[in-house]
Structures are given as C-alpha cells and as structure tokens.
Structure 1
Amino acid sequence: MSQTSALGAPATRTPEAPNDADDLRRLTALMTLFSPSFPIGGFAWSHGLESAIREGRVEDAATTRDWIAFLLAHGSGWTDAVLFAEAWRASSSNDTSRLREANALALALPGAAERRLESEHLGEAFCRASLPWRGDMPAMRDRAIAYAIAAGWLAAKLDLPLQASLAAFLNGFVSNLVQAASRLVPLGQSEAVQILHDLSEKIVASAREASGASLDDLGSAALVSDIAAMRHETLQPRLFRS
C-alpha cells in the first residue's frame, strides 16, 4: 500500500537493514542506561562541587565549565573512564579475575570517603536499575562494585562499542554535575545548556583517549577537587551527599 508524506509526495518504505536495527538498539541502550534520568540517584551527589561553590571557587557558568572540564581531562572523570574501559575489556574476554582487580582498584582510588560512597552507591543502584538489560552478574555478587566498573561490564555484555559507551558515560557524569551547579550557583537553563555544548568536544576527546588507555595511564591532578570532596564531609548545612 502506498502512502503519502507530509509534503504530499508518495512516501517509500524500505526494509531496515539488520545492521541498522542493531545500531539503533545499541543507541537506545546507551541513551537509556547513561541518561541523567536513569534511576541511580546521581542527582543526590555533587562530587565535591557543593563545597567548591560554597568556598567561591565555582561561582558562575565559566568557572563551572572549567571545573568540570578539568575533571574530564585530569581528574575523576578521566580515572573513571579508564576504569570503565578496563571493565569493558575484562567483560569482553570473560576475565573474572581482571574484573575483580579493576573493581578493587576503583574502590581504592577515591581520595575522600564520600567519593567512595558515591561510587559504591551509584554502582549498586546501577546494577539494580539495569537488571532488565544485564540479568545476573555472578562475578561481582555480594560485594561492593564501583559505578564505572558496573557500567563498563554491562556495556560490553550488551555489545556496545567502547568509545560510544565511554562518551555516553562521561556525558552522564557531566550532566549530573551541571544539574548540581544549576541548583547551587545557581545557573539559568540557557547557561546550563551552553556548558553542556561547550564540553561536548572534551567528552569526545576523553572518551577516545580512554578507549586506548590502560591502567598504567591512571592518574589524577585534580587536587583542589579532592580537597573539596574532603571538606564536604563536614559541610553543614548541605544539599548533596558528596
């Protein structure tokens, strides 16, 4: 049966190629699993940003953008991306020992107690929320799992490309921090969107670099962010858990 398009010309339907269907399936999985609205409670954590704002280190759109950009390139955003890639490779090769070692490292690396709690709580929530996609995860059952490790493991199990998965994961990281800044600085909606736009290339760059990195490339120079996370542990009153 022929159909007519909105412009009045005959519309032609062509069967979708299997590869296109697979690509769309992967895309929808990425958009869902790493969306800021995926129910893992990311909105409750500021990653130390709240104390940085309270101390005047972050005070407007420009300083918010620069703070997050540094984390992507030289701080926790970078280390989580490398750990995500390590978990993805361990999952791809069904290497349980490698996955456990990566998880132990991921839980040992945070420089503040709240940062570790954030990673654990987000990892646990991600495992619960992603149950329809992941099924069981016997290698990590009955133990704490870092968010980056859980996310990388599942991305490989779903046959999601590493670079695209990293970009989606980091985009979620950035989006949660921008949302926190929107409440605390505060930022207007247009300013928040501009920050997301400005950081898109840095997200892509970090994803590409991390996809080719190994655990030897782990390292952080974001000392001010780490100190802010430590100071947040005694900050009162506060809106966020980290």
Structure 2
Amino acid sequence: MSENLDTKALLRLMAWLSPAFPVGGFAYSGGLERAVHDGLVKDAAGLSGWLSSLLRHGSLWNDAVLFAEAWRRFEDEGGLKATAELGLALAGSAERHMETLSLGKAFATAASAWPHPVLDRLPPAVPFPVVVGAIAAAHGVTAAPALAAYLHAAVSQSVSAGIRLGVSGQAEGVAMLAGIEALIIEIAERASKTTLDDLGGAAVQAEIASLRHETQHSRLFRS
C-alpha cells in the first residue's frame, strides 16, 4: 500500500485487531455455522468462495463502507451518530444486529485504555465497523491500511470458525488467508474512497443463513 503507518499507530492497530483484544469476536460466526449446517460451505474451497463473496458483495463490503464513513467523520458527533444508526439498521437479522452491537460496545470499552475525545463522541449503541473506523482515525491510522487490517481480522475470524466447524484444517486455513490477501487489499483501497451511496449487497444466501441460525437448536457460535 502507498500509505504508511508510524510505529505507534501500527502497534495500536495490531493490538485492537488482535484475537487477544477483549471484544469476544471468537464467539460469532456471522451465519457461517448455519451455512455449514445447510451444506452451503462444505470445504476450504467453499469457505474461501463464501468469504470472497462477503468481501465483494456482502456484509464485509458494507462494513468497509461504514468504516470509511466513520473514519472521515470521527470529529463529527452528529455524523457518527447517524452512521451508527444506519449501520445498525442495515443489520439483516437479529443475530447480525446483536453481533455488530456487542462487538462495537466491547471494542469501545477496551479501547478506552487509549484515552481520546472520540470516545465521548461515539453513541452508546455503535456497530463494530463504525467504532473501529472512528477510533483508528482519531489515533492517526490512515484509512486503507486500517480497513485492510479490519477486513483481515474479520476473515481470519471466519477461517478460525471454519476450522472449528470442520470444513478446513489449519494448513488449509493459512493457505486461504494467503490466497485472499490480494482481494483484501483491493477491497480496502476501494472502500477507503467510498461514500454511503456505495452501500449495498447481493449475498442473499449469507443473509438467509444468518436468519436461519437464530432458530438452530445445537450450535457452537452466537451468530
């Protein structure tokens, strides 16, 4: 990427998007568990295709657009509130709403270890991409690298969920992350230049899987 991060910003970004950061992302699959249950994702190739679709046309694309909007408007309390409300309204299911809201609240609480006025500008109910975008901007993390890190963390979490659900092994999971790297960079670069007019998706099966997960009797994940 053409944009550079200074060392302090890089360290903060690594901390915030680390699996060790206390947001509880490991508890969610974003509907993937239901997709596996229904046979929509059967193996590593299927999981890779599923994630690529989410990045190009689904929830991860919309998250990236919301992230970019929050990044631009981190000093605008009214703008952040409106973006947060839109992000929550776009949640396609009760579980998707719960997931993005729970992660957003947990992220804001954990990020308070790095005090900044942006924390007071964020509304109490804030979706995950909005809070990460706003806090990244407030701490001087440039947009495209921040987006790439956010999307990579989301994809990594899904790969980890896929391994736990038995559709991929560890080696296949690492290969998947390597193979999807270029797409993550492409989407991050493109999303960093978007406006809210670029919101929209066509990953219908993923949305249906998220809805159906709400009534799944036996499950490992909360979404």
The TM-score by the shorter chain falls in which range?
Answer: over 0.9
Corresponding pairs, count: 219
Displacement of 1:186: 3.7
The equivalent residue for 1:39 is 22
Displacement of 1:241: 0.4
1:158 and 2:139 matched = yes
Displacement of 1:110: 1.0
Q: In structure 2, give the amino acid aligned to 1:95.
A: D
Contact residue 90 and residue 98 of structure 1 kept, 8 A: yes
Cα distance in 2 between the residues matched to 1:66 and 1:79: 18
Q: Percent identity?
A: 44
Contact residue 162 and residue 211 of structure 1 kept, 8 A: yes
Q: What is the aligned counterpart of 1:96 among 47, 66, 77?
A: 77
Cα distance in 2 between the residues matched to 1:38 and 1:82: 23
The equivalent residue for 1:171 is 152
Unaligned 5+ runs, structure 2: none
Displacement of 1:96: 1.3
Instruction: Show structure 1 runs of 4+ deviating over 4 A.
Output: none
Displacement of 1:47: 0.2
Q: TM-score, normalised by structure 1?
A: 0.88
Displacement of 1:39: 1.6
Q: What is the aligned counterpart of 1:72 among 17, 33, 55?
A: 55
Displacement of 1:44: 0.3
Q: What is the aligned counterpart of 1:218 among 193, 199, 212?
A: 199
The equivalent residue for 1:16 is none
Deviations for 1:61-100, whole angstroms, at most 9, x for unmatched residues?
1000000011011101000000000000001xx2111111
1:48-67 maps to which residues of 2 (within 5 A)? 48-67=31-50
> Bigger radius of gyration, 1 or 2?
1
Displacement of 1:148: 0.6
Cα distance in 2 between the residues matched to 1:166 and 1:54: 30
Displacement of 1:37: 2.8
Contact residue 44 and residue 172 of structure 2 kept, 8 A: yes
The equivalent residue for 2:175 is 194
Displacement of 1:157: 0.6
Deviations for 1:36-70, whole angstroms, at most 9, x for unmatched residues?
33221010000000000001110111000000011
The equivalent residue for 1:10 is none
Q: TM-score, normalised by structure 2?
A: 0.95
Deviations for 1:112-148, whole angstroms, at most 9, x for unmatched residues?
110010000000110111111244522235x211011
The equivalent residue for 2:121 is 139
The equivalent residue for 2:70 is 87
The equivalent residue for 1:9 is none
Cα distance in 2 between the residues matched to 1:88 and 1:161: 9
Cα distance in 1 between the residues matched to 2:195 and 2:94: 25
Q: In structure 2, give the amino acid aligned to 1:206.
A: I
Deviations for 1:13-48, whole angstroms, at most 9, x for unmatched residues?
xxxxxxx9x711111111111123322101000000
Deviates more, 1:184-193 or 1:211-220: 184-193
